A and B are shown apart, each in its own frame.
Chain A
Amino acid sequence: MGSGRFFGGVHPSYNKGLADSSAIVEMPLPERLVVFFAQNLGVPSQPVVKKGDEVKKGQVIAEAGGFVSTPVHAPTSGTIGSIDIYPSPVGVDAPAAVLVPDGKDEWFEGCNVERSSEGLGVKKIKEMIHDKGIVGMGGATFPTHVKLSPLAEKKMDLLVINGAECEPYLTADHRLMVEHAEGIRDGASLFATVIGVRNVVVAIEKNKPDAIEVMCKAVVGCQGFSVEAMDVIYPQGAEKQLIYTLTKRKVPAGGLPMDVGVLVQNVGTALAAYEAVRYNRPLIQRVVTVTGSGIREPKNVLARVGTRFEDLVKFCGGLEGDAAKCINGGPMMGVAQYSLDAAVTKGTSGLVILRQEEVTQFVSDACIRCARCLEVCPMKLNPSALSIFIEKMRFEDANEYNVMDCIECGCCAYVCPSRRPMVHHFRRAKAEVRKLQRKTG
């Protein structure tokens, strides 16, 4: 298993120094929390509380809406103030419960009790991971129990714990590895047990030497565990690229990592799963890197799910005057917010605030066919041709040129000298292609 290198990629300025040495700080309870009911990719969860209900910390407030769904828990004890539509940090406005904390922060019965994770069956572990609402915390928020249930015919042989954190600015996973290496390791062994693999690789980019060191120490004596230091290149942490770097296996286009026998889990997810199984703690808080030049005191904040961005920003010293862009997630793949009314969800890895002079303006100039985008596209697409097709609304052609395989990593737009809104084009095309496919059945 050597450190290979995937095709393409870029080297953005990482700016991780803003927050990578500041330890995780827990944020005091804000005055109110806005907890979205849809916290995972897939089927949204079904609310089971109504206005005025008293809830305890860790109590279920929304139940899983199907298999690809997870329950949502109250992040603290308090009263449900209202249920309404709020600006969701990932796109469209969505229903959420406003929770007014009572300040006691009382756990729901049975939560937060230590118990042994020894000898638990696979089924039991998966059930606990599901019940405690664990989802992929790298940003995708895909329900973890689903990922832990690969099709029986796929022979799994490797678990990758993704600590690449290749997104610029973000340092949440980095700090997590430095401060909670053992928990991550134990979470990883839970996952390994569930899918029945022996080899576990913790993959970390070389720009986090302290994390590599701590992780190496933590896995000493653990059979099958290893830590892999990887080259620093974006998008090293994208699943398909990560797997290729570590194993030279190519996840088939349109396929999943399990097609090549690999499961990838984020470090945060591993820790959350460990806490869920060991302490019966639901996923109600996470580390959010609040950073960027637009914020006064960049920090890694342990925030409750539902913490409004407004409160997060306040906790970090407030905005600089000319803060002009606020991004949920990293600057390469994150979602720009239009207001600070949105709130932390299980997938919020960071809040990056950029000042005016750092905001890139897309201008939709003509493609000069410089081919830079082809050089960097890790999926080996032809973004230039794609964007030109899409501009002409030729979505079938875009489909033929594999627009559906685009991982929206943003490398192409990052290098495009014409500042074309490439990823925006591809999102559009994907929506249109899906429409076409639905039409033709």
Chain B
Amino acid sequence: MLTAVIALAALALLAAFGLAIAARVFAVPHNPKADEIEEVLPGANCGACALPGCAELARRIAEGKADIDACPVGGESAAHTIAAIMGMEFEGGAEREVALVLCKGSDQVAAKRFFYNGIYDCNSAVLVFGGDKACTYGCLGLGTCAGVCLFGAIDMVPGGLAVVDPEKCTGCAQCVAACPKGIIKMVPASRKLHILCSSHDKGGVARKHCKVACIGCMKCVKAAPEGAITMDNFLAVVDYSFEIPAEVAAECPMNTIIVTGDAAGACEEPAAAAGGDA
């Protein structure tokens, strides 16, 4: 027994020694700035910057090959710190964007065409007739997006619908790429009014498929400022460059439009939007 323990310990020591030597021998010359920057980066290696990892981005920023705000996850605060490290000025970049699932049709309101039996994964489910939802545009609710989100920002609400928590969402857009239905969009975090539907079906059909579908009645279009909501093939679409008053949501006969609280999570605007929904 004892000899075995000693032998194992010796082996471990030997290996550790070998590793230490290897680390010395194969060490790569490091840019101290890169190390500092890497400290600032979130370290999630999420790929949102389209590079293989945070370390790589840090190296590129340090070498001036990437922008100081190239990490959408770290956002402005990271950019500011990195600017300080690099001895640069950060003027503030584009507005923070978060993901939004443009569907509100959980199982309670949206009809099904069949009983799906198969892999619990949206990309697989679309392979059989495009999914079990009667509405062929809607969220399949199998949570593929939630699976790829490294930040746990997507919740699957009971009844099968993906909902993004804008406070946790870092805007890495991994979920956008993962969703086979293409119904996740990046929207400015400061905007509060959303039309949660992606169905281009004609009103009657859409209504039959889902109780909260956009039926293309154009009431919201008329109520909103000119051009802020437009019709795209029987679907009302928000142009997020406009600020749309919360009252518009009340116009929707289908309860498709929602007004969220202060989505940016900057907590400057308490309760103002909370009562927005009728």
Contact = CB atoms under 8 A, between A and B. Distances in A.
A424 interface: yes
A432 B123 CA distance: 10
A424 B118 contact: yes
A364 B124 CA distance: 13
Nearest to A338: B114
Interface residues of A, number: 17
A32 interface: no
Contacts of A362: 117-119
A252 interface: no
B127 A427 contact: yes
B130 interface: yes
Interface string A42-59: 000000000000000000
A362 B117 CA distance: 6
Contacts of A91: 128-129
A92 B129 contact: yes
B129 A421 contact: no
A87 B130 CA distance: 11
Contacts of B242: none
Contacts of B132: 338
Contacts, number: 41
Contacts of B123: 428, 432
A22 interface: no
B113 A338 contact: yes
A428 B124 contact: yes
A117 interface: no
Interface string B116-138: 01111101100111101000100
A424 B117 CA distance: 10
A428 B128 CA distance: 10
Contacts of A256: none
Q: How large is the interface on B (under 10, 10 to 19, 20 to 34, 35 or more residues)?
A: 10 to 19
Interface in A409-441: 421, 424-425, 427-428, 431-432
A421 B113 contact: no
Contact of A339 (B113, B117, B118, B121): B113
B233 to A, nearest CB: 14
Contact of A421 (B119, B130, B136): B119
B117 A425 contact: no
Nearest to A432: B123
A425 B114 CA distance: 20
A431 to B, nearest CB: 7
Given A336-B128, A431-B127, A424 B113 contact: no
A421 B121 CA distance: 12
A220 B127 CA distance: 47
Nearest to A387: B119
Contacts of A92: 129-130
B225 to A, nearest CB: 35
Contact of B124 (A87, A93, A425): A425
A421 B125 CA distance: 11
B131 to A, nearest CB: 10
Contacts of A336: 128
B179 to A, nearest CB: 15
Sorted nearest first, the 8 A-B pairs with minimum C-beta distance are A338-B114, A428-B124, A338-B113, A424-B118, A421-B118, A427-B127, A421-B119, A424-B119
Given A425-B124, A427-B127, 4 more contacts: A93-B129, A93-B130, A339-B114, A428-B119
Interface of B: 113-114, 117-121, 123-124, 127-130, 132, 136
28 contacts: A87-B129, A91-B128, A91-B129, A93-B130, A93-B136, A336-B128, A338-B113, A338-B114, A338-B132, A339-B114, A362-B117, A362-B118, A362-B119, A364-B119, A421-B117, A421-B118, A421-B124, A424-B118, A424-B124, A425-B119, A425-B124, A427-B124, A427-B127, A428-B119, A428-B121, A428-B123, A428-B127, A431-B127
